[in-house]
């Protein structure tokens, strides 16, 4: 039984803590994050997120958080066999 | 290496004090989260840790974390931590200081805490400038660095904390940057396991005051520059004594001319980061102190070794 994780990661930005410094946007390797007109991070490329957590680690104000999707257990071997 | 979640942070912070008063993009928040994560991954309880801080931007850190905290006078954080560690040897003491706090006004306290080998983790945040008071040049401003008091570029030799720690007898010295956050967390985690004075110099950014005058006005640019300006130490070569020949080889006398000044955030040679040196067999001062006390007590009970006047 091989487990794979399906779904899209959820990125939460707490605007009451965020100071719009742009570090998370600068460090995102997948261009998930972008700045809006006030400098706060928004997530236009959310489906590209790979959960590297560089934005969380580089956030000086603990204002961004990545939540993993729910884990679905999918039997890869059975899928391959049906093909 | 486990990864951070902000859920971890929430348990260890005082939410009523947030958001922090630091400027947007300041590396102090990254350092604070690294300390908190290291304490979490070390498995320490909140009530086993005390954080002592001095004055400055760094001194505010003790207000945000939910440990036992002491916000003390300027430069005297190691002195207060010495008393705390001797009174409560069961506590894990984390001392955070800025570069002005630790090296200029509190230099003597830092030296004698290292000499006595008081059991604490001392984190010296080095941002090359006096941040809180308006960007005056500090003991670590590199040669040529522009600050509000050195408009044409500093020409003083910056202080070398590494050589100082080696000379004063600190058993653990590491250097990290706020760019390499995983390494920073790991080094704090290592330092928490040291019996004795563990010193970590963290190269941080002050893009608002120092960066603005040195053409690095953005936080991301200043932090990204740390990657090119520092070099990871190679533990294998270090064991063989081949790296680095500059000043960290154990045989090198620390007072000689080869102890070059810390060149700052630009120019060659690149500053080594990582675990620079570690002395084995270090014993915490408080343990030796209480052992000595028991010894004297035992002697008195027998009536020996006491001068009768």
* SS3 sequence of B236-256: HHHHHCCCCCCCCCCCCCCCC
- Which of A14, A20, A23 to mutate: most B Cβ within 10 Å? A23
Residues of A in contact with B220 (CB under 8 A): 21-23, 26-27
Query: What are the residue boundaries of the structural domains of chain B, listed by start?
Result: 6-302
Residue A3 belongs to some domain of the structure: no
Distance CA B217, CA B274 (A): 27
Tokens 């999918």 belong to: A74
Residue of chain B whose alpha carbon sits nearest to that of A59:
B30
Q: Which residues of A9-35 are buried (b: 16+ CB within 10 A; e: fewer)?
A: bebebeeebbbbbbbbbbbbeeebbee
Q: Do A23 and B25 touch (CB under 8 A)?
A: yes
Pick the CATH number of B6-302 from 3.30.590.20, 3.20.20.140, 3.40.50.970, 3.40.640.10: 3.40.50.970
Q: How many CB pairs under 8 A join A and B?
A: 69
Interface of B with A (CB under 8 A): 3-7, 9-10, 13, 18-20, 22-30, 33, 181-182, 218-220, 223-224
Gap between the Cα atoms of B11 and B209, Å rounded: 32
Q: Which letter, b or e, does each residue of B21-30 get, where b requires 16 or more Cβ atoms within 10 Å of its Cβ?
A: ebbbbbbbbb
User: In the prediction, which pLDDT does B233 show?
Assistant: 75
User: In chain A, what residues touch B20 (CB-CB under 8 Å)?
Assistant: 60-61
Determine contact: A19 vs chain B, CB below 8 A.
yes
Angle B98-B39-A25 (CA atoms, 0-180°, nearest 5)? 70
A22 close to B (CB below 8 A): yes
Chain B positions in Cβ-Cβ contact with residue A61 (cut-off 8 Å): 18-20, 24, 29
Residue A49 Cα, gap to closest chain B Cα (Å):
16
ipTM over 0.90: no
DSSP H or E segment with residue A57: helix A54-58
Flag whether residue A20 sits within 8 Å of chain B, measured between CB atoms.
Answer: yes
Nearest CA distance, A28 vs chain B (angstrom) = 12
Say if residue A70's pLDDT is above 80: no
Q: How far away is chain B from the Cα of A67, in angstroms, using its nearest Cα?
A: 8
Residue A48 within a domain: yes
What pLDDT is recorded for position B250?
Answer: 42
Residues of A in contact with B186 (CB under 8 A): none
Q: What does the block give as tokens for B205? A: 């950014």
**Cβ separation B4–A16 shorter than 8 A:** no
Q: What pLDDT was estimated at residue B256?
A: 38
pLDDT at residue B72 in the model: 93
Q: Which residues of A touch B217 (CB under 8 A)?
A: none
Residue of chain A with shortest Cα separation from B185: A57
Instruction: Measure the CA–CA gap between B207 and B211, rounded to whole angstroms.
Output: 4
Cβ B140 vs Cβ B103: under 8 Å: yes
A9 Cα distance to chain centroid: 5
Assigned domain for A2 exists: no
Other CB atoms within a 10 A radius of the CB of residue A57 amount to 23
Helix axes B107-116, B77-87, angle to 10 degrees: 30
**Cβ–Cβ below 8 Å for B25 and A64:** no
CA distance B10 to B280: 36
Cβ–Cβ of B6/A64 closer than 8 Å? yes
* CB contact (8 A) between residue B223 and residue A58: yes
Among candidates B4, B7, B28 on the partner chain, residue whose Cβ is nearest the Cβ of A60: B28
The CA distance from A43 to A79, in Å, is 32
Closest chain A C-alpha to B304 CA, distance in angstroms: 59
Flag whether residue A16 sits within 8 Å of chain B, measured between CB atoms. Answer: yes
Note whether A24 and A64 are within 8 A (CB). yes
- Characterise A58 by phi-psi region: left (phi > 0), alpha (psi -120 to 50), beta (else): alpha
Radius of gyration for chain B, computed over Cα atoms and rounded to the nearest angstrom: 20
What is the chain B residue with the closest CA to A64?
Answer: B6
DSSP B124-167: EEE-SEETTTTSEE-TTPPTT---SS-TT---SPPP-HHHHHHH
Q: Which domain holds residue A29?
A: 10-82
pLDDT at residue B248, rounded to an integer = 42
DSSP 8-state symbol, B283: -
Q: How far apart are the first and last CA of chain A?
A: 17
Per-residue pLDDT of chain B (309 residues; tens, 9 = 90+): 344 455 667 788 888 888 889 988 889 999 999 999 899 988 888 899 999 999 989 999 999 999 999 999 998 999 999 999 999 999 999 999 998 889 999 899 999 999 999 999 999 999 889 988 888 999 888 888 889 998 888 888 888 888 888 888 899 999 999 999 989 999 999 999 989 999 999 999 988 898 888 888 888 888 888 888 787 876 666 665 544 444 444 444 444 344 444 433 333 467 788 888 888 888 899 999 999 999 999 988 887 766 665
Domain total in chain A: 1
For residue B238, what pLDDT is reported? 61
Please give the pLDDT value at position A6: 62
Scanning chain B, the segments in alpha helix (DSSP H) are 6-12, 28-41, 61-64, 77-87, 99, 107-116, 161-168, 181-192, 212-213, 219-229, 235-240, 285-302
């Amino acid at each position: 039984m091989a487990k794979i994780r399906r779904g899209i990661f959820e990125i939460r930005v707490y605007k009451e803590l965020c100071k719009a410094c742009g570090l998370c946007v600068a460090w995102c390797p997948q261009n998930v994050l972008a700045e809006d007109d006030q400098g706060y991070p928004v997530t236009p490329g959310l489906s590209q997120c790979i959960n590297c957590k560089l934005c969380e680690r580089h956030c000086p104000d603990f204002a961004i958080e990545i939540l993993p999707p729910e884990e679905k257990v999918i039997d890869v071997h059975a899928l391959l066999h049906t093909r | 290496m486990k990864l951070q979640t902000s859920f971890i942070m929430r348990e260890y912070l005082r939410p009523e004090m947030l958001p922090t008063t630091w400027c947007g993009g300041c590396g102090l928040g990254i350092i604070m989260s690294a300390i908190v994560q290291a304490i979490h991954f070390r498995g320490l309880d909140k009530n086993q840790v005390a954080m002592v801080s001095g004055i400055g931007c760094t001194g505010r850190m003790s207000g945000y974390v939910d440990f036992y905290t002491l916000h003390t006078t300027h430069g005297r954080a190691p002195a207060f931590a010495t008393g705390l560690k001797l009174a409560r040897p069961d506590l894990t003491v984390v001392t955070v200081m800025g570069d002005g706090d630790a090296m200029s006004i509190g230099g003597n306290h830092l030296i004698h805490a290292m000499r006595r080998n008081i059991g604490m983790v001392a984190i010296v945040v080095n941002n090359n400038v006096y941040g809180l008071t308006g960007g005056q040049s500090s003991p670590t401003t590199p040669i040529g660095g522009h600050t509000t008091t050195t408009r044409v570029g500093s020409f003083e030799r910056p202080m070398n904390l590494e050589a100082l720690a080696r000379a004063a007898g600190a058993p653990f010295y590491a250097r990290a940057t706020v760019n390499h956050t995983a390494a920073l967390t790991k080094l704090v985690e290592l330092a928490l396991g040291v019996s004795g004075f563990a010193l970590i110099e963290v190269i941080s950014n002050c893009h608002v005051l120092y960066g603005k005058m040195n053409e690095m006005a953005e936080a991301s640019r200043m932090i990204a520059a740390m990657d090119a300006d520092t070099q990871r130490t190679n533990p294998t070569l270090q064991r063989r004594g081949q790296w680095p020949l500059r000043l960290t080889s154990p045989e090198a006398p620390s007072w000689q001319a080869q102890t070059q000044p810390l060149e700052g955030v630009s120019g060659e040679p690149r500053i080594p980061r990582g675990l620079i040196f570690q002395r084995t067999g270090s014993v915490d001062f408080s343990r030796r102190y209480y052992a000595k006390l028991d010894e004297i007590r035992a002697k008195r009970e027998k009536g020996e070794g006491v001068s009768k006047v």
